[in-house]
């Protein structure tokens, strides 16, 4: 029996991986960006602050999803060091050193990728990353959780701040196509956040753009989605 032929794009990505290990993440980020811009476009264009919030939320949650997928592929129920905490309002969130490391310390951390784009776009006074993390932790269970600390005229739409539950399961199959290895998922979305900051440089101060990305990334790294919306075990 003849094996089914692979998609030409998949073949091209596979062939280029030896020269550029991040080729899947780069091409995948372009594809996800195209889909988001198309979905978020109105007759007035795309609301940049809302796009930044969506990209930040996806980038942050990608760290949780990546860690969980890699743990399950290794036969673990959940990643070591991550645990669920409850808040007074009845909410539950996943927290742990692995998320903080991915967001801020990894070679391709969300902070590193987003801050680099913000600096290139003209941001000369980066926020303190530890202060960003503390704000995210301190606001758990409060109305301010996941709401970027920026002037009201630059506030993302409420829909964009609540979009993770619908966007993540819709985009995950696309991401898995370009990045079969879950370790690359956060890189793809970090590159996506970079692109959004660069695109919005004429509309919003890049320092504020960075704040939107990181505030939403930190919060959504801890958000627990229904199991059916996450990556299946062993993916």
Give the separation between CA 188 and CA 202, rounded to whole angstroms: 24
Contacts of 93-99 spanning 24+ positions with Cβ under 8 A: 93/140, 93/222, 93/223, 93/224, 94/64, 94/222, 94/223, 94/224, 95/137, 95/222, 98/63, 98/67, 99/63, 99/64, 99/67, 99/221, 99/222
Q: What is the radius of gyration, based on Cα positions, of the chain?
A: 17
Query: What pLDDT, on a 0 to 100 scale, did the predictor assign at position 233?
Result: 41
Query: What pLDDT, on a 0 to 100 scale, did the predictor assign at position 230?
Result: 56
Residues 6+ apart with CB under 8 A from 74: none
Query: What pLDDT, on a 0 to 100 scale, did the predictor assign at position 17?
Result: 73
Reference 97, options 67, 140, 127; nearest CA is: 67
Query: What pLDDT, on a 0 to 100 scale, did the predictor assign at position 14?
Result: 73
Query: What pLDDT, on a 0 to 100 scale, did the predictor assign at position 228?
Result: 42
Query: What pLDDT, on a 0 to 100 scale, did the predictor assign at position 90?
Result: 76
Query: What pLDDT, on a 0 to 100 scale, did the predictor assign at position 232?
Result: 46
Query: What pLDDT, on a 0 to 100 scale, did the predictor assign at position 175?
Result: 97
Query: What pLDDT, on a 0 to 100 scale, did the predictor assign at position 212?
Result: 98
Give the separation between CA 201 and CA 209, rounded to whole angstroms: 8
| pTM exceeds 0.85, yes or no | yes
What DSSP letter does each residue of 116-127 carry, written as one string? HHHHHTT--SPP
Question: Which residue positions in the chain have pLDDT lower than 70?
Answer: 1-6, 9, 18, 227-235
Query: What pLDDT, on a 0 to 100 scale, did the predictor assign at position 229?
Result: 52
């Amino acid at each position: 029996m003849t094996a089914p032929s692979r998609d030409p794009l998949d073949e091209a990505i596979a062939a280029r991986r030896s020269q550029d290990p991040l080729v899947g993440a780069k091409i995948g980020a372009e594809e996800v960006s195209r889909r988001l811009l198309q979905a978020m476009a109105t007759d007035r264009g795309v609301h940049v602050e809302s796009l930044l919030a969506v990209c930040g939320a996806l980038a942050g949650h990608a760290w949780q999803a990546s860690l969980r997928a890699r743990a399950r592929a290794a036969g673990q129920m959940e990643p070591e060091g991550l645990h669920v905490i409850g808040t007074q309002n009845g909410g539950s969130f996943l927290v742990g050193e692995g998320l903080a490391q991915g967001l801020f310390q990894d070679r391709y951390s969300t902070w590193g990728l987003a801050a680099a784009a913000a600096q290139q776009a003209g941001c000369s006074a980066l926020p303190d990353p530890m202060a960003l993390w503390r704000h995210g932790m301190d606001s758990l269970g409060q109305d301010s959780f996941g709401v970027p600390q920026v002037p009201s005229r630059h506030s993302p739409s409420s829909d964009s701040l609540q979009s993770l539950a619908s966007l993540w399961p819709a985009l995950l199959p696309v991401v898995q196509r370009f990045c079969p290895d879950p370790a690359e998922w956060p890189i793809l979305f970090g590159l996506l956040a970079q692109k959004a900051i660069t695109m919005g440089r004429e509309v919003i101060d890049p320092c504020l753009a960075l704040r939107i990305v990181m505030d939403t990334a930190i919060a959504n790294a801890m958000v627990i989605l229904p199991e059916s919306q996450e990556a299946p075990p062993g993916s």
